[in-house]
Amino acid sequence: METGNNTKISIFLLGLSEEPQLQSFIFGFFLSMYLLTIFGNLFIILAVSSDSRLHTPMYFFLCNLSLVDICFTSTIIPKMLLNIHTQSKVIMYEHCITQIYFFVLFAVLDMFLLTVMAYDRFVAICHPLHYMVIMNPRLCGLLVLVSWILSALNALLESLMILRLSFCTDLVIPHFFCEVNRMIQLACSDTFVNNMVMYIAALLLGGGPFICILYSYSKIVSSIRRISSAQGKYKAFSTCASHLSVVLLFYCTILGVYLSSAATHSSQSSAIASVMYTVVTPMLNPFIYSLRNKDIKRALKRFFVKEITKGQLS
């Protein structure tokens, strides 16, 4: 067993396919999705920041979610595209650990922000008269800050746990990014503690937020059912529809990844399934929010009209 400096180890990411004729298609496909993700989420941030009428807790959290989605995909896709362009599969050990840190950070932060947004909708529908008092700027800022701190600490712990492992040779990972579970499986040293930390973190930081979201929506559904008019019920539910769609998309794709990998035992199938929550979900989020949200569409329209008018006057 090699117990020396692990930073000398080279790691090979096999990607989604080793077929040479598919590389150009994969590059174009992922570049297109990455650009859609960047611009789609930037438009959300632009719309909210440019319109004072959208400076509310709900849109404050949405801006943070859009920022995290941009960072989440930027942790993975640029390196993948670079490897395809240069026809290289190598990622250095220290770069792999860095990618693991930021991947875990933004994945967990996504879950926390979705939970905070569920709480915001719970307060808005179940306690509408006290909404502005409860969801004051100080609490909103504190919720986001705590989410960042907990996510950063967890990512640091996961990364340090990988650093304590020893690896025998250069590593071949049948994936398009460095994943905690893959690295643990390839280690030569004892991985019991790593597995325990990984599963406990997944239970607490993955399952915990999901339970909180389910609880919030159970209360929301109860409140909506007590509304007498059909129009009132529709209006109350429409404020939650976009967020609920994003939650279902995010958690269902993650669940699908692990169920598919457990059922097929295929690393290639797991890598392809991972595309759903690492690339597709962040790309679809801004479309879900903008297509179902008249306020966002109006804000974007006003912004572009204003910019076009400025350009014509100058």
| pLDDT confidence of residue 172 | 87
User: Is it the case that residue 126 has pLDDT exceeding 50?
Assistant: yes
CB under 8 Å, gap of 24 or more: what pairs does 268-274 form?
Answer: 268/16, 268/174, 270/175, 271/15, 271/16, 271/174, 271/175, 271/176, 272/16, 274/175, 274/176, 274/177, 274/179
How many whole angstroms separate alpha carbon 250 and alpha carbon 247?
A: 5
Tokens of 92: 């250095």
Higher pLDDT, 258 or 222: 222
Average pLDDT of 215-240? 86
First to last CA, the chain: 69
Would you say 15 and 257 are in contact if contact means Cβ atoms under 8 Å apart?
A: no
Cβ atoms < 10 Å from Cβ of 280: 15
**The dihedral sign for the CA sequence 73, 248, 213, 63:** positive
pLDDT for 264 beyond 60: no
Confidence of residue 311 (pLDDT cuts 50, 70, 90): low
This prediction's pTM: 0.90
Q: Per-residue confidence at 266, pLDDT binned at 50, 70, 90? A: low
**Beta bridge partners of residue 204, listed in sequence order:** none
Q: What SS3 class is residue 171?
A: strand
Each domain of the chain, given as residue ranges in start order, spans: 6-313
The string of pLDDT tens digits covering residues 88-113 is 888 889 999 999 999 999 999 999 99
Binning pLDDT at 50, 70 and 90, where does residue 220 land? very high
To the nearest whole number, what is the mean pLDDT of the chain? 86
CA distance 42 to 8: 38
Q: What is the arithmetic mean of pLDDT over 25-37?
A: 93
- 5 vs 146 pLDDT, higher one: 146
Pairing of strands 171-173, 90-92: unpaired
> CA 194 to CA 167: how far, in whole Å?
14
Please state, in angstroms and as integers, the Cα–Cα distance from residue 185 to each residue in 171, 190, 195, 198, following that order. 11, 10, 9, 12
- Most trustworthy range by pLDDT among 13-22, 212-221, 294-303: 212-221
What is the average per-residue pLDDT within 166-195? 87
CATH superfamily of 6-313: Rhodopsin 7-helix transmembrane proteins (1.20.1070.10)
Q: Is 233 exposed, middle or buried (0-12, 13-18, 19+ CB in 10 A)?
A: middle
Lookup: tokens for 217 = 């929506």
Closest by CA to 205, choosing from 151, 259, 247, is: 151
- CA–CA dist 272, 264 (Å, integer): 12
C-alpha count within 13 angstroms, C-beta hemisphere, residue 29? 9
Q: What H or E segment, with its residue span, contains residue 173?
A: strand 171-173
Residue 305's pLDDT is: 79
